[in-house]
Amino acid sequence: MVWNTNLRWRLPVICLLLQVALVVLFGVFVRYDSDADPHWLDTKEQENSTSDMENEFYYRYPSFQDVHVMIFVGFGFLMTFLQRYGYSSVGFNFLLAAFGIQWALLMQGWFHSYYQGYIHVGVENLINADFCVGSVCVAFGAVLGKVSPVQLLIMTLFQVTLFSVNEYILLSLLEVKDAGGSMTIHTFGAYFGLTVTWILYRPSLHQSKERQSAVYHSDLFAMIGTLFLWMYWPSFNSAVSNHGDAQHRAAINTYCSLAACVLTSVALSSALHKKGKLDMVHIQNATLAGGVAVGTAAEMMLMPYGSLIVGFICGIVSTLGFVTHVAFTTCMACPASSAPSWVL
């Protein structure tokens, strides 16, 4: 965690200013959702008495906690494969995500949950805020080690804002279906990250290239990130699907796609290595592409074999992209982002 010590007051001041602004905006705009507010529930129960179990909380909360783990442990540890930045990776990811979820609750709230003069926040808003921050984590991967925490906070501020506008245009105006957020989250995040990298690019940065080597223990930490992302992806893709069979189907489809993706990633990684060895970085990145690619269609009647085909193709395309450097920087940004060429 090294940055210009002459500017030492910038981080504290910006953190406090942002947090004060958030407190004020929450005070003015944010209230509880009807499912979290006893007054609304009283009215509802007078009309027709329902079970407590019908609360949105019980439909969404287990998936929410899984998504939360993906954002903080999954993305945080995924980046530790870069030896020197392992520590910053986890810590800075923590900082930007904690700020991002608050700002996302507001931005997404204004677009999607604003009525009767207030943003109404429930567990589904928490999940969507985590999704939005997932997009920032993807972009963070592209700029890791090149930016200070202050720059990261500013990047998060802009990206969450743009994300929400983009999401509003795609989902509300164009009425695109994008359950797992392949377009809004992963592709957007990857290209945003690339753009930021391009803006920040200075030739002198090449000198620090040797810092990017991985070490043994760093890789094991990175596997913690990879595995939690991989395991919980079915929750990611089904967290905000419709109740019942749609949520059920989204989980099954993602499970199938992810499993298929592992085998084709291993096959390509081994085939493209001159000694036939496996490169763990390929595995870490490509295996997740299956979850991203199936995201958009996860709750549709894709059929299990359809999901396997998606995973099959993704494992190949993303490993190829990684090895041939065509999509190198994109892939660096995030496991997920290696899929866009197929998604689009």
Q: Does 68 bind its own copies (CB under 8 A)?
A: yes
Instruction: Decide: helix, strand or coil at residue 228.
Output: helix
Q: Which of 78, 79, 101, 281 binds its own copies (CB under 8 A)?
A: 101
Q: How many residues bind its own copies (CB under 8 A)?
A: 114
User: Which of residues 79 and 194 has its CB atom nearest to its own copies in the complex?
Assistant: 79
- Structure tokens belonging to residue 106: 């507001």
95 touches its own copies (CB under 8 A): yes
The DSSP element (H or E) to which 23 belongs, if any, is helix 10-29
Residue 293 contacts by C-beta under 8 Å, 6 or more apart in sequence? 182, 257, 310, 311, 313, 314, 339, 342, 343
Asked if 116 interacts with its own copies (CB under 8 A), we say no
Chain CA centroid to CA 84, Å: 23
Q: Does 203 bind its own copies (CB under 8 A)?
A: no
Which residues from 272-311 bind its own copies, rule CB under 8 A?
275-278, 280, 283, 287, 301, 303-305, 308-309
CA angle centred on 244, ends 37 and 52, rounded to 5°: 30
User: Is 270 an interacting residue with respect to its own copies (CB under 8 A)?
Assistant: yes
Q: Which one of the spans 79-87, 157-165, 193-201, 328-336 is the region binding its own copies (CB under 8 A)?
A: 79-87
Comparing CB distances to its own copies, the nearer of 63 and 285 is: 63
Q: How far is the CB of 195 from its own copies (least distance, A)?
A: 25
Please list, residue by residue across 101-117, b when 16 or more beta carbons sit within 10 angstroms of its beta carbon and e when fewer do. bbbbbbbbbeebbeeee
Q: Does the protein bind its own copies through residue 246 (CB under 8 A)? A: yes
* Interface residue with its own copies, options 75, 81, 85, 99 (CB under 8 A): 99
Is 158 a binder of its own copies (CB under 8 A)?
no
Tell me, what DSSP letter sits at residue 312?
A: H
Minimum CB–partner distance for residue 330 and its own copies (Å): 23
Residues 6+ apart with CB under 8 A from 211: 82, 83, 84, 85, 145
Segment 118 to 147, residues that bind its own copies, using CB under 8 A = 121-123, 126
Q: How far is the CB of 131 from its own copies (least distance, A)?
A: 14
CB 281 within 8 Å of CB 323: no
Mode of pairing for the β-strands spanning 114-115 and 118-121: antiparallel
Please say whether the beta carbons of 196 and 148 come within 8 A: no
Cβ contact 160:100 at 8 Å: yes
Residue 7 binds to its own copies (criterion: CB under 8 A): yes
Is 98 a binding residue for its own copies by CB under 8 A? The answer is yes
Closer residue to its own copies, CB minimum distance, 149 or 193: 149
- 43 is a site residue for its own copies (CB under 8 A): no
**Looking at 79, 268, 292, 294, which residue binds its own copies (CB under 8 A)?**
268
